[in-house]
Amino acid sequence: MEILLFSPEPVAIGTSVAKTQKTLEIPVDQQLLGKIITPLGSALYKTNPLPDFPESRPVEILPPGIDVREKIAEPMETGVSVVDMMVPLGMGQRALVIGDRKTGKTNFLLQTVLSQTERGTICVYAIIGKGISAIRHVEDFVAKNKLTEKVVIVAAKSTDSSGVIFLTPYTAMTVAEYFRDQGKNVLIILDDLSTHAKFYREISLLGKNFPGRNSYPGDIFYTHGRLIERAGNFKTKDGIFSITCLPVAETVEGDISGYIQTNLMSMTDGHIYFDKDLFAAGRRPAVNFFLSVTRVGRQTQNSVKSGISRELNNFLSLHEKTQSFVHFGAELSDAVRTTLEMGDKILEFFNQAPDETLPVNLQIMLFSLIWVGVWNNLSKDELRETIDKIIKAYKSSEVVKNTFADYLKNAVDFNALLGKVSTDSNKILEVIEAATMANTGDPNAGR
């Protein structure tokens, strides 16, 4: 018989062990919101213990069957324009976030948490076998943005036992299921499953299980599969509620063909790839939308959003080919120069501060104004200043929000929206200018 220890302390020979005839359970309650807990369901910091909760749930269950699942139909806004417009996600989707270390994955995940909590979603953030600094980073972000009433952090430190680290994502999923059953949409982040796989490999090798590819156990796919399948869009007694799952996988030197990475790709509904070369080139976030995939997110889009997505994909593919063509030293025609300039403006629009989220209505109207050529005469830096000014005006003025919402509400498709924006561009800019002057109190602001 083999026994998995949850304590980092060794057990002395001769210690008595007794079966409880029960599966491992953790206590769950609404009071978990704002707390940082261990995978065993206790408070991470002994100075802030949890009260006794009346309900407990097993950390491992069979994933729900197809009879209680619903089609993914609602979009999930991340607040990150390049993702929402190029790799859209749906509520209940499982989307892998993949890339090298230090390429901005955590910043993106925290932006998504910020965006979703503003819409009433409960967020469960699982930190799997990382240093205390990583835990503090997430904790500080939650406190700084006053998200404690909407977030639960399940954390296992790198110094914890392999058993506790292995348990982390299952505990987090159990917490997510509890809040789903309370009538809440839930976002769960599993950061990260490549580290989780390494600790499970360690447990399996110590248990003398026969090693397979890269010494990972043969059941590693099942181990992650039965976890990921617990997310989705579900029928509950209170209606339809979702668990959207964003597992994270780390790559080495941009290699997305690794064993664990490809396993996770095959069991999720798409992936968002963070490219180290784009990161080094200064793109923030460094999402490579050509190598990213969404399998169900597009079915949640309305006609305006799907039209934008289609237009952007076609144009940015042309922009990429044009850049390659220019590298050969070819002479630039007016058409090529126009394509390059518009592509550069769109990529500048996609650049976003790590602590900033953009509502989808704002994203669409900003892109439409760029696309109809309102700011063709602006340099890259001037465009950045203009975009930042509009973002501030939108977030501080109900008039701007309502104006943008009216344009989108009355547009039957993207072409209709473009026609209206092109005709009324001066009127739209006047509304933004008035909001900017009202915020600054300066009658000459923005002139």
pLDDT above 80 (res 360): yes
Judgement on whether residues 374 and 431 belong to the same structural domain of the protein: yes
Q: Which residues pair with 250 in a beta bridge?
A: 99
247 lies in a domain? Answer: yes
Tokens of 216: 């990972």
173 lies in a domain? Answer: yes
3-state helix, strand, coil in the chain (%, to 5): 45, 15, 35
Predicted local distance difference test score (pLDDT) of residue 3: 81
Judgement on whether residues 75 and 214 belong to the same structural domain of the protein: yes
- Which of 301, 328, 354 terminates a domain? The answer is 301
Contacts of 357 (CB under 8 A, 6+ apart): 78, 79, 80, 111, 114, 115, 118
The identity of residue 371, as a single letter, is: W
Judgement on whether residues 259 and 323 belong to the same structural domain of the protein: no
For 169, phi then psi, to 5°, come to: -65, -30
- Which of 266, 285, 301 terminates a domain? The answer is 301
Residue 295 a catalytic site member: yes
- Which of 301, 327, 342 terminates a domain? The answer is 301
Tokens of 411: 């547009």
93 lies in a domain? Answer: yes
Judgement on whether residues 165 and 232 belong to the same structural domain of the protein: yes
Judgement on whether residues 349 and 266 belong to the same structural domain of the protein: no
CA 42 – CA 163 distance, rounded (Å): 15
The identity of residue 274, as a single letter, is: F
Judgement on whether residues 350 and 397 belong to the same structural domain of the protein: yes
252 lies in a domain? Answer: yes
Judgement on whether residues 295 and 362 belong to the same structural domain of the protein: no
What does the pLDDT average to over 269-288?
96
Active-site hit among 57, 226, 284, 295: 295
Alpha helices in 118-241 (DSSP H): 132-144, 162-181, 193-206, 220-228
Using DSSP, state whether 271 is helix, strand or coil.
strand
What's the mean pLDDT when you consider all of the chain? 93
Q: Are strands 239-250 and 186-191 parallel, antiparallel or unpaired?
A: parallel
Predicted local distance difference test score (pLDDT) of residue 327: 66
312 lies in a domain? Answer: yes
Judgement on whether residues 431 and 309 belong to the same structural domain of the protein: yes
Neighbour count for residue 181 (Cβ, 10 Å): 16
Q: Are strands 122-130 and 239-250 parallel, antiparallel or unpaired?
A: unpaired
Nearest one of 20, 7, 85 to 58, comparing CA atoms: 20
445 pLDDT band (50/70/90 cuts)? very low
The top-scoring range by mean pLDDT among 202-216, 314-328, 380-394, 432-446 is: 380-394
How far is residue 249 from each of residues 183, 217, 262, measured CA to CA in Å? 30, 18, 10
Judgement on whether residues 71 and 182 belong to the same structural domain of the protein: yes
Tokens of 290: 């050509």
329 pLDDT band (50/70/90 cuts)? low
447 lies in a domain? Answer: no
CATH number of the domain residue 187 falls in: 3.40.50.300
Predicted local distance difference test score (pLDDT) of residue 442: 56
Bigger pLDDT: 381 vs 7: 381
CA 68 – CA 80 distance, rounded (Å): 31
Which string of b and e fits 22-45 if b means at least 16 CB within 10 Å? eebebbbbeebbebbbbbbbeebe
287-298 pLDDT, tens digit each: 999 999 999 999
Q: Specify the number of domains making up the chain.
A: 2
Task: Please answer whether residues 306 and 298 qualify as being in contact, where contact means their C-beta atoms are separated by less than 8 angstroms.
Answer: yes
Domain span holding position 284: 25-301
Q: Which helix (H) or strand (E) holds 232?
A: strand 232-236
Judgement on whether residues 135 and 192 belong to the same structural domain of the protein: yes
Judgement on whether residues 277 and 186 belong to the same structural domain of the protein: yes
For 233, phi then psi, to 5°, come to: -110, 120
2 lies in a domain? Answer: no
Judgement on whether residues 409 and 393 belong to the same structural domain of the protein: yes
